[in-house]
């Protein structure tokens, strides 16, 4: 490089700064200042230490590829700053702070009196919680997509997030992360949140943010926790996750065994698993919405189950069904096609039915909606019965932990045993013809229906497979077709 007057001056400044930053321990200066228009680099493998407040003035550049050990505060006066991919360690013996909007590779905190954030901080590689608290205040600490956590998170080494600031983590896809959060109000309490994503779509700039309050969620009564966690997300669509919340016995008001994991906001509140009174943990599985979680008495609210399915006998093509008829016309009002029975069978024991509703309206577009009591919040097979169709249950047990559960029998693969019929126009339908509802379509169904046909029977009766109000050859053809293929129900 050719040296002219201008960059010669810069070189002198750089040399001076290097001298200063390298000799903090011997200098009497109160501050280590990195002035405007200067760059200070700590190369990979190199270790520098500062015993003073370190100030990066506006226009000054600090790049840490090696390690910078700070014993006092770091004041970054730039609006935003990438401080490199190396390590900045805060290991003083009095409370330290970092100001400015900074991005660094690794942040290590080893100071029993802790570190205060004076601006938002992004950590891209590693957060080492060796000792002491990181106090977020109203600032956000973001761990990037590939950043991880190490050290020894505990009540003496955690992130306190009781202000408006959030501990944020970006996710690259499904996976787990434990947010090492707690509070230092009254006494310090370590109450981390673990999230395990089962599925979801994660945009590049996504994050989940966690903060908490060491107090009861407003309106809690009788049995509850003096603690609630607020979890928000950005850039994650259709998430499904399991969550675990650690609390401490001092948080419990009333009878711990009466407390359930609950999402109290956004309304309506919904309850998940009962509190684990041994480990003092709340948990929820198959959750699809974030919000405010706490422990309160189980919320007695119904869930909504949305179903989608078509029946072969009533199928009219183009994703619509006819309305079942009696001799006078429509048997049912509105756009109701026919009536279903819906049952929830326990995942671990199919023969155990936890809930049933025998009067569920199936609309002509294939939609059916019903309420399920909140107590049914585990995994269930959804079984559908219809007066002359072959009974079908869901391919797998379905999680009922959320407020709204949706299940569509829209392909054979959605039914246990793939037991759906594909129509001429590519829709999936429940096989018709099990007139006597004994689980199989066979000669008996044909005989029963044939007798009614011979008698010219009419009306809303099970033998009317095509739902036109008459019992005749059209019904017999439908039954015979499925009987000849030995169609039978397939259940767990």
Chain positions contacting Ca ion, by CB under 5 A: 183, 185-186, 189, 214, 434, 436, 438, 445, 464, 466, 468, 470, 475
Closest to Ca ion by CB, 397 vs 467, is 467
CA triple 370-375-381, angle to 5 deg: 60
State the Cα–Cα distance between residues 152 and 128, nearest whole angstrom.
8
**Residues near 273 by beta carbon (within 8 Å), at least 6 away in sequence:** 260, 261, 282, 283, 284, 285, 377, 401
Cβ atoms 100, 116 nearer than 8 A: no
Cα dihedral across residues 155, 156, 159, 164: positive or negative: positive
Closest to Ca ion by CB, 88 vs 248, is 248
Q: How far is the CB of 435 from Ca ion (least distance, A)?
A: 6
Closest to Ca ion by CB, 116 vs 475, is 475
Other beta carbons within 10 Å of 39? 13
**Rounded to an integer, what is the distance from CA 33 to the centroid of its chain?**
45
Q: How far is the CB of 247 from Ca ion (least distance, A)?
A: 11
State the Cα–Cα distance between residues 394 and 235, nearest whole angstrom.
31
**Residues near 343 by beta carbon (within 8 Å), at least 6 away in sequence:** 353, 355, 356, 382, 383, 384, 385
Q: How far is the CB of 216 from Ca ion (least distance, A)?
A: 13
Closest to Ca ion by CB, 20 vs 324, is 324
Closest to Ca ion by CB, 89 vs 480, is 480
Backbone angles phi, psi at 485, to 5 degrees: -100, 10
Closest to Ca ion by CB, 475 vs 480, is 475
**Residues near 54 by beta carbon (within 8 Å), at least 6 away in sequence:** 21, 31, 32, 34, 70, 72, 73, 74, 75
Q: How far is the CB of 215 from Ca ion (least distance, A)?
A: 9
Q: How far is the CB of 355 from Ca ion (least distance, A)?
A: 25
Closest to Ca ion by CB, 183 vs 480, is 183
Cα torsion at 300, 302, 303, 308 (round to 10°)? Answer: 160
- Mutual orientation of helices 443-454 and 473-484 as an angle, nearest 10°? 170
Q: How far is the CB of 92 from Ca ion (least distance, A)?
A: 25
Name the 3-class secondary structure at 49: strand
Q: How far is the CB of 252 from Ca ion (least distance, A)?
A: 13
Closest to Ca ion by CB, 185 vs 371, is 185
Q: How far is the CB of 186 from Ca ion (least distance, A)?
A: 4
Q: How far is the CB of 254 from Ca ion (least distance, A)?
A: 18
Closest to Ca ion by CB, 144 vs 459, is 459
**Residues near 457 by beta carbon (within 8 Å), at least 6 away in sequence:** 463, 471
How far are the Cα atoms of 327, 336, 469, 479 from residue 331, in angstroms, in the given order?
A: 9, 9, 9, 22
State the Cα–Cα distance between residues 239 and 388, nearest whole angstrom.
38
Q: How far is the CB of 331 from Ca ion (least distance, A)?
A: 13
Partners of 209 in beta bridges: 168, 232
| Token output for 194 | 């673990």
Closest to Ca ion by CB, 380 vs 470, is 470
Closest to Ca ion by CB, 142 vs 216, is 216
Q: How far is the CB of 158 from Ca ion (least distance, A)?
A: 12
Closest Cα to residue 213, out of 241, 234, 193, 183?
A: 183
């Amino acid at each position: 490089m050719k040296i002219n007057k201008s960059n010669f001056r810069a070189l002198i400044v750089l040399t001076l700064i290097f001298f200063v930053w390298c000799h903090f321990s011997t200098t009497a200066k109160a501050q280590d200042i990195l002035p405007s228009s200067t760059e200070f680099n700590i190369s990979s493998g190199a270790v520098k230490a500062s015993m003073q407040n370190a100030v990066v003035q506006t226009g000054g550049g600090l790049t840490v590829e090696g390690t910078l050990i700070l014993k006092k505060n770091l004041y970054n006066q730039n609006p935003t700053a990438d401080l490199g991919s190396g390590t900045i360690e805060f290991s003083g013996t009095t409370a330290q702070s970092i100001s400015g909007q900074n991005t660094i590779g690794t942040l290590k905190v080893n100071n029993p009196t802790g570190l205060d954030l004076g601006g938002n901080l992004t950590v891209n590689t590693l957060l080492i919680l060796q000792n002491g608290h990181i106090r977020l205040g109203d600032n956000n600490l973001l761990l990037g997509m590939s950043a991880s956590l190490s050290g020894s998170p505990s009540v003496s080494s955690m992130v306190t997030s009781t202000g408006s600031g959030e501990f944020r983590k970006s996710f690259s896809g499904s996976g787990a992360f434990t947010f090492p959060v707690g509070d230092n109000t009254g006494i310090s309490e370590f109450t981390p949140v673990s999230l395990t994503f089962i599925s979801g779509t994660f945009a590049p700039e996504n994050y989940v943010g966690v903060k908490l309050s060491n107090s009861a969620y407003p309106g809690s009564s009788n049995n509850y926790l003096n603690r609630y966690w607020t979890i928000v997300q950005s850039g994650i669509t259709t998430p499904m996750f399991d969550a675990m919340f650690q609390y401490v016995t001092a948080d419990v008001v009333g009878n711990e065994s009466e407390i359930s994991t609950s999402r109290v906001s956004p309304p309506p509140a919904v309850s998940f698993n009962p509190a684990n009174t041994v480990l003092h943990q709340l948990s929820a599985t198959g959750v699809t919405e974030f919000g405010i979680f706490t422990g309160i008495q189980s919320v007695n609210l119904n869930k909504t189950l949305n179903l989608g399915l078509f029946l072969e006998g009533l199928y009219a093509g183009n994703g619509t069904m006819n309305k079942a008829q009696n001799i006078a016309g429509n048997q049912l009002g509105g756009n109701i096609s026919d009536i279903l029975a819906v049952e929830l069978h326990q995942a671990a024991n199919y023969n155990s039915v936890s809930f049933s509703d025998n009067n569920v309206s199936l609309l002509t577009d294939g939609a059916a909606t019903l309420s399920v009591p909140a107590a049914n919040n585990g995994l269930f097979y959804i079984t559908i019965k219809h007066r002359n169709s072959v009974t079908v249950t869901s391919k797998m047990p379905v999680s009922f932990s959320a407020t709204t559960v949706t299940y569509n029998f829209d392909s054979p693969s959605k039914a246990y045993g793939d037991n759906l019929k594909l129509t001429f126009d590519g829709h999936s339908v429940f096989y018709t013809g099990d007139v006597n509802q004994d689980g199989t379509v066979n000669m008996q169904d044909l005989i029963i229906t044939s007798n009614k046909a011979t008698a010219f029977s009419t009306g809303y009766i099970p033998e009317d497979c095509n739902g036109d109000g008459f019992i005749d050859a059209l019904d017999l053809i439908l039954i015979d077709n499925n009987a000849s293929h030995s169609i039978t129900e397939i259940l767990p």
